[in-house]
Amino acid sequence: MSVHRPNVGVMTDRVAAAVPGIRSAPLSELAFTVVDIETTGWAPEDAGITEIGAVRVQGGTMLAEFGSLVNPGIPVPEAITTLTGISDQMLISAPPVDDVLPRLLEFAEGSVLTAHNAPFDLRFLTAACAAMGRDWPGFEVLDTVRLARHLMATPQEVPDRKLATLARFFGTPVRPSHRALDDARATAVVLGELLGRLADREGIMTLEQLDTWLAARDAEAMAQAEAAREAQAAAAAPAAGGVSRTAERLAAIVPARFRLRVLRALGVAAAALPARSKTPA
Q: Which among 133, 132, 142 is positioned nearest to 112, based on CA atoms?
A: 142
The partner residues of 32 in beta bridges, in order of sequence, read: 57, 112
Is residue 149 exposed (0-12), middle (13-18) or buried (19+ Cβ within 10 Å)? Answer: middle
| pLDDT higher than threshold 60 for residue 270 | no
Q: Tell me, what's the pLDDT at 231? A: 82
The CATH architecture assigned to 2-205 reads 2-Layer Sandwich (3.30)
| pLDDT higher than threshold 70 for residue 2 | no
Residues 131-171: tens digit of each pLDDT: 999 999 999 999 999 999 999 988 888 999 999 999 999 99
Confidence of residue 281 (pLDDT cuts 50, 70, 90): very low
Ordered alpha helix ranges (H), 2-139:
13-18, 78-84, 88-91, 97-108, 118-131
Question: Which residues, including other chains, have CB under 8 Å from residue 210's CB and lie 6 or more apart?
Answer: 27, 142, 198, 204
Residues 245-260: tens digit of each pLDDT: 666 666 666 666 666 6
| pLDDT higher than threshold 60 for residue 91 | yes
Residues 191-222: tens digit of each pLDDT: 999 999 999 999 999 999 999 999 999 999 89
For residues 231-243, average pLDDT: 66
How far apart are the C-alpha atoms of 153 and 147, rounded to whole Å? 10
